[in-house]
Structure 1
Amino acid sequence: MGILKHAGDHMHMMGEMMRQTDTDVTTVSGPSGDAFLRGAIVRCLFCKHGEECRAWLGEGHEHCEPPAFCPNSSRFEAVRKAS
């Protein structure tokens, strides 16, 4: 898989993960919000659970906690609780 396809796939999955888990990163504002999003992107790009993530997202979860295998699960959960 090419690097651009890999990045695109992971960014799509991260967006869908945030949607399905009601994670609104726009509530984290300013420089800390930028750092939060950059960190989440890097974690997602280097995640080794792509197939597991695709399968989980394909189940169509709504309004739920992020799955434990997600490297951003604790960060997304913190944002959800703060909203």
Structure 2
Amino acid sequence: MNLLDYLISVDARTALMDRMMRKLGVDRQLKVVADHAAVTHRAADRCRSCGHQDECSTWLDEHEHADDPPDYCRNRDLIARLQHAAGQR
């Protein structure tokens, strides 16, 4: 994999994280947590290191709305905390 392929891959995984946060209704809550930039950066790193990009993309395409992310989601705990903070749980 060359550098350009890697950068495209990283960007695609970050886009999946953004889609997941929106799909689960926590995108706004993520923007207002304490130390927003660091929390978002760590969440993006977890997503970038995940090996389920194809499955995630398919899951996002197949679910118009969902209450929980798929079991393999590395941001599952963060999403649950954000949902709790937003009063969704």
Question: So what's the TM-score if we normalise by structure 2?
Answer: 0.81
Q: Which 4+ stretches in 1 moved above 2 angstroms?
A: none
The corresponding residue for 1:38 is: 41
Kept after mapping to 2: 8 A contact 1:23/1:77 = no
CA-based RMSD: 1.4
Count of matched residue positions in the alignment of Structure 1 and Structure 2: 81
Decide which structure has the larger Cα Rg and report it.
2
> Which consecutive unaligned segments of at least 5 residues does structure 1 have?
none
The corresponding residue for 1:71 is: 74
Supply the distance in 1 between the matched residues of 2:69 and 2:63 (Cα, whole angstroms): 12
Deviation readout 1:27-80 (Å, 9 max, x if unpaired): 313xx2222111101001110111110110110331421221110011111111
Higher relative contact order (CA 8 A, sep 6+): 1
Question: So what's the TM-score if we normalise by structure 1?
Answer: 0.87
What percentage of residue pairs aligned between the two structures are identical?
A: 30
> Which consecutive unaligned segments of at least 5 residues does structure 2 have?
none
What pairs with 1:1-83 in structure 2 (closer than 5 Å)?
2-24=5-27, 25-29=30-34, 32-83=35-86
